[in-house]
Amino acid sequence: MSAQPEHGWGAMPLPEIRTVDDLRGALSRYGFPGDRERFEEELAAAIGASPTNDFDGAAAVVRAYRHRILIRNSPEVMAALEDARTGEGKA
């Protein structure tokens, strides 16, 4: 039996994120605490501030939160965050 990492972060299967609804579900299940609520607030603000023919701001919010899911699924990133939180890895 192999030892489990002390930090407890293992790779989770990446969810399919093809739509905004897929992203909502992924944020609820795989995101950091509060991500789903912040996503909804930022998306609504971006849509509200967008011209009717240009939703680049809303698309940027979607891309940013999709990236958060990818970060959350990376054992290397999560281990680095845990090391930073606990003060390990300092020279």
Question: Residue 23 burial by CB count (10 A; 0-12/13-18/19+): exposed, middle or buried?
Answer: buried
Q: What are phi and psi of 62, to 5 degrees?
A: -60, -45
Q: What is the pLDDT of residues 26-74, one digit of tens each?
A: 999 988 889 999 999 999 999 999 999 999 999 999 999 999 898 888 7
Tell me: pLDDT of 19 over 50. Answer: yes
Question: Residue 72 burial by CB count (10 A; 0-12/13-18/19+): exposed, middle or buried?
Answer: buried
* 3-class SS shares of the chain: helix, strand, coil, % to 5: 60, 0, 40
Q: What are phi and psi of 79, to 5 degrees?
A: -65, -40
